[in-house]
Structure 1
Amino acid sequence: MPAAVNGVVGYKPSGYRLPLDGARILGAGVIGTTTFGPVTVTGFLGRSVRDVQFFARLSADAKPWEKDCFLYPHPWQSLLLPVASQLRIGVWSSNGFLHLQPPVERGFQAARERLRRAGVELVEFNGPDISDIWELQKEWTELQDMSSLRELLSTEPHTEIVKATAIITKETPPPPPTVEYIHSMNARISSLVRAMHEAWNRGGKPLDALLWVTAPHTAVPFDKYTYLGFTGLFNVIDWPAMALPLNMFADKDIDKKVPFAPFNDLDAEIQNLYDEDSFHGLPLSVHLIGRRFEDEKLLRVSEVVHDIIKSTEHRPKL
């Protein structure tokens, strides 16, 4: 999300590729060693897919698994740059849970149309129910030991966004981490992974990547960012993902607020945040996702896709 709201490229790798154990914000002995849930990762932000790909290759060439025994060996795969007309990309057009704000919808549609004109095969992606993703992510995040982060934030007042996300400041105490509870949580995650895998392979031919958006909105006013489900999904299932800026921006003369029937209260809240004037000029991005451990393939596909979808438009006058 930091990449998406700032209009730069962002890369979230698969787990166990980069060393993280003992990072200051989480408890020692948690990252890379726990089987309580999905592994936490660190990623890169850059000005281009090529920059991110170069840094990812340098990281692999350094063989970090020789020093960190929790990383899996992943010598860099030098894959050929794919041809656009041979790509098969899924498009997650409707999730039935949250609508996209007008500028985000416009950017998403523009990316799809540019890929279509370039000869990319686009396939409608029918993903699983995502209504519980954000809560599920917070559940397993709690098992990563929030005590270190809570200690860091204990010396300063909590902002409204910290309170609203209910990660650091809990409205109700989390359930005790019993073996039964952990197994139940992992069973929910396993069902989600299997559902995504089935959707990816539906029709008998797997996708090369999945096109979506990073959030139903662009950047939002201070202290109003409280939902991370669109990116959190791929944290939960541990699939690599890219934030790709479109070089397009919210435009008050184009992106008019329209009446809609919200799916739920959260949907209504997010749509009501949109204001044509205050959102004017904010960058638009899309989300490109690959399958677990197929990072090199995602990076190569992203290079082709980004060259196709990024606009030559200029930022609208502020």
Structure 2
Amino acid sequence: MTVEKPSWQAIGEQKRAKLQELLPPSFRIDPVPSADEQPNATTFIEQFLSPAERDITETTSAKALLSKLADGTLSAVEVTKAFCHRATIAHQLLNCLSEVLFVQAFARAEELDEYLRTHGKPIGPLHGLPISLKDQFRVEGAETSLGYVGWLGKVETKETESWLVKQLKDMGAIIFAKTNVPSSLMAIETNNNIVGYTTNPHNRLLSSGGSSGGEAALLSLRGSIMGFGSDVGASIRVPCSFTGTTGLKPSHGRLPYLNVANSMEGHETVPSVIGPMGHKVSDLRLAVQTVLECSPWLADPKVIQLPWRSEMEDEVRAKKASQKLTFGILRHDGVVKPHPPVERAIEQVVQALENAGYEVIEWIPPAHSEAFQILWNTFAADGGIDIHQALQQSGELPVPQLAVSYGEKLGHLPVGSVSDLWGTNQQKYNYQTRYLEYWNSTAARTRTGQPVDAIISPVAPTASYRPSEGMYFGYTGVYNVLDYSTVVVPVTKADRTLDIPVTDYTPLSDLDGAICKQYDPDLFNGTPVGVQVVCRRLEEEKVLAIADEVEAVLGSSIA
């Protein structure tokens, strides 16, 4: 007798129900208010937590929490339970989790507490630290769907687990959840046919961005202290800016991608990279440094043998002490004009840097429109074959955020040739060369006679967007094409009284005009806005040190 295969809708529903069952009943809230009833979830969540849980989950940084775990002030069990409780509420409000691993996390926390009692010392540098991961990281005992219904059903094993996940566990971290992504990862909003749409904790009527939108949303509601995402065009940085969190997009070859799932495996014209996400720049530094101490180049052949370079940080500190840090400011990329809150955030950073004695010059580089075209040519090189084949495994329809780029069915995009791909690679190399020449040329315009140390740039032209209105990722994508090291630093929040709509602007294009019209001061009021701090290729130590200083000079001005 033939057994009828469940529909893709039924498979998605079954997975959603399973996720719900794995949320401890005592941690859930009922009823869950609608987004219209409770747009802002950031303070709403606190009423459901005990004072102790609030203190734990609102600890300033991962480093501070690790200190309390290492000396026994806090147990791994109580820390894990606090974050699992907060993550449960966050998921009910935002739709941010793709895998619930609380049972495994509680068991590991008990083991770590026993180890500390027995040995009088932590098991490793991340002892007891709860860490969440974007869905594409393979974790033993969990599924890895990338938002594809057809990828459900395969449970990861010890052998298939991502190399980074193994190292995090060995260093004492507790993996307690995986977070939602858009189908295929190739969208700047987080939506799929399994979990659904992930909203912004500061305004649940708006997007958390993508593709690391679930991770950023969870972090923003303090349902996690540290996480890892990935970025091929915007995917760490846009969600961080939209949610008031921080994240690092490193250069390709710095952090290990080994056994991390991905769409369009094998395309390397503009490669995807993994990076840490958190609440403070110091969290990102901690994450990178501890991973590099595991010598990832001995396991992943794509990782460059480049241990942590303290001397690069020392150079930044010396320039800081002598007030010789110099910055280039990108206000407009020549393609899409930023909305008023984003323009104000850039100006706020300029003023803070100048007040600290640093030099700021205008940044007018080779056309960013060229980089955006190179990036799109990369993403569309196979005509969407890889994505549509994955969708066809279950027969599911693409969500709107995916269909807008790759079509409802195969054939929406032309299939490029090998010659086309080679041409894109050459265009990228030429563009990188001209951009490097421009960066070097700024030595003629600075007081120091040296090129600028870093660029300050918008992350996106908008503070967020309504569902299905995400349209442009050029402000981030250019630095993927260039392979530069980039950190997002939160700056401010949109303010209806300060960020007045522009009425006399003549759009540069239909795209520019459409995004300009999206601005609604009342809707965006209170939504976070961050900026990018950008250094050259493989300058992770430098960009983190400079971003830390930008974070410091902004100080209490962050609203």
CA distance in 1, matches of 2:257, 2:383: 14
Asked if 1:162 is matched to 2:370, the reply is no
Q: 1:308 to 1:171 in 2, by over 3 A?
A: farther
Q: Which residue of the partner structure matches residue 115 of structure 1?
A: 353
Q: 1:123 aligns to what SS in structure 2?
A: strand
Q: 1:9 to 1:59 in 2, by over 3 A?
A: same
CA distance in 2, matches of 1:26, 1:207: 36
Spell out the pairing of 1:64-143 with structure 2 (5 A cutoff): 64-78=296-310, 79-80=313-314, 81-82=316-317, 83-84=319-320, 85-143=323-381
CA distance in 1, matches of 2:457, 2:485: 13
CA distance in 2, matches of 1:8, 1:189: 30
Q: Where does the alignment leave 5 or more consecutive residues of structure 1 unmatched?
A: none
CA distance in 2, matches of 1:113, 1:312: 11
CA distance in 1, matches of 2:383, 2:292: 28
Instruction: Describe the superposition over 1:142-182 as per-residue Cα deviations: whole angstroms up to 9, x where unpaired.
Output: 4589655444544443232222234896774334332x222
Amino acid at match of 1:201: N
Asked if 1:15 is matched to 2:273, the reply is no
Contact 1:103 1:250 in 2 (8 A): yes
Q: 2:489 aligns to what SS in structure 1?
A: strand
Q: 1:274 to 1:55 in 2, by over 3 A?
A: same
Identity %: 26
Q: Which residue of the partner structure matches residue 455 of structure 2?
A: 210
Q: Which residue of the partner structure matches residue 249 of structure 1?
A: 493
Q: 1:135 to 1:159 in 2, by over 3 A?
A: farther
Q: Which residue of the partner structure matches residue 226 of structure 1?
A: 471
User: TM-score scaled by structure 1?
Assistant: 0.89
Contact 1:25 1:149 in 2 (8 A): no
CA distance in 2, matches of 1:77, 1:19: 17
- 2:286 aligned residue (23, 44, 54): 54
Contact 2:442 2:452 in 1 (8 A): no
Asked if 1:191 is matched to 2:430, the reply is yes
CA distance in 1, matches of 2:383, 2:299: 24
Q: Which residue of the partner structure matches residue 299 of structure 1?
A: 544
Contact 2:383 2:414 in 1 (8 A): no
Contact 2:331 2:458 in 1 (8 A): no
CA distance in 2, matches of 1:51, 1:168: 40
Q: 1:21 to 1:61 in 2, by over 3 A?
A: closer
Worse-superposed segment, 57-66 or 155-164: 155-164
Contact 2:488 2:533 in 1 (8 A): yes
| Residue 46 of structure 1, CA deviation | 0.7
Instruction: Describe the superposition over 1:209-250 as per-residue Cα deviations: whole angstroms up to 9, x where unpaired.
Output: 10111111111101111211111111111111111101x111
Aligned residues: 307
Amino acid at match of 1:134: F
Q: 1:3 aligns to what SS in structure 2?
A: helix
| Residue 58 of structure 1, CA deviation | 0.6
Q: 1:99 aligns to what SS in structure 2?
A: coil
Q: Which residue of the partner structure matches residue 284 of structure 1?
A: 529
Task: Select the structure that is richer in helix.
Answer: 2
Q: 1:151 to 1:48 in 2, by over 3 A?
A: farther
Q: 1:122 to 1:169 in 2, by over 3 A?
A: farther
Contact 1:162 1:169 in 2 (8 A): no
Amino acid at match of 1:121: E
Contact 1:26 1:146 in 2 (8 A): no
CA distance in 1, matches of 2:409, 2:359: 45
Q: 1:207 to 1:119 in 2, by over 3 A?
A: same
CA distance in 2, matches of 1:14, 1:256: 37
- 1:39 aligned residue (261, 264, 271): 271
CA distance in 1, matches of 2:410, 2:382: 15
| Residue 207 of structure 1, CA deviation | 1.5
CA distance in 1, matches of 2:240, 2:408: 23
Contact 2:325 2:453 in 1 (8 A): yes
| Residue 96 of structure 1, CA deviation | 2.4
Q: Which residue of the partner structure matches residue 2 of structure 1?
A: 239
Amino acid at match of 2:371: I
Contact 1:142 1:167 in 2 (8 A): no
What RMSD, in angstroms, separates the aligned Cα atoms of the two structures? 2.2
CA distance in 2, matches of 1:102, 1:171: 39
Larger RCO (CA within 8 A; separation ≥ 6): 1
Q: 1:251 aligns to what SS in structure 2?
A: coil
Q: 1:223 to 1:310 in 2, by over 3 A?
A: farther
Q: 1:77 to 1:68 in 2, by over 3 A?
A: same
CA distance in 1, matches of 2:256, 2:366: 31
Instruction: Describe the superposition over 1:32-70 as per-residue Cα deviations: whole angstroms up to 9, x where unpaired.
Output: xx6x51322111111000000110111111100111122
Contact 1:245 1:310 in 2 (8 A): no
